[in-house]
Amino acid sequence: MSEPTANLYYDGSCPMCSAEMKHLAKHKTDQLCLLDIHQAELPPGKTTEDLLTVLHYKAPDGRWLTGLDATLAVWSNTLLGKALTVLRWPVIKPVADSAYNLWARKRYARLYGKAHD
């Protein structure tokens, strides 16, 4: 019996996102599906704009993680992921999350020409 699958929804039109996914594809397990938002079927309750604003990860148990939490979830089983756990330390987490959210808003505005709340 195979393990449940996790899905990571990413923006395939974003050069930086695509580069990260290409690198991640070399290190991921078969239980992680990398899904380009522009080519994948949208999950129930999510819009294209929802998925484009920040990275979305659906865990095998159905939980959704977004932003930096999604990034850390998919990299957690790699050597890089072990080093990234520092980003969840209580004193660093708010700064890391703020930096990611700022980057995500600017990336979205640059690629799609509009701001998103």
Residue 1 resides in a domain = no
Residues 6+ apart with CB under 8 A from 72: 81, 84, 85, 87, 88
Residue 62 and residue 36 in contact, taking contact as beta carbons nearer than 8 Å: no
Total structural domains within the chain = 1
Q: What is the pLDDT of residue 2?
A: 66
Tens-digit pLDDT profile for residues 67-79: 999 999 999 877 7
User: Domain range holding 85?
Assistant: 6-112
Return d(Cα 45, Cα 78) in angstroms, integer.
30
Q: What is the pLDDT of residue 67?
A: 95
Tens-digit pLDDT profile for residues 20-44: 999 999 988 888 999 999 999 999 9
Tens-digit pLDDT profile for residues 69-114: 999 999 987 777 888 889 999 999 999 999 999 999 999 999 998 7
* Whether residue 117 has pLDDT greater than 60: no
Q: What is the pLDDT of residue 4?
A: 75
Residue 66 resides in a domain = yes
Tens-digit pLDDT profile for residues 43-52: 999 999 999 9
Residue 117 resides in a domain = no
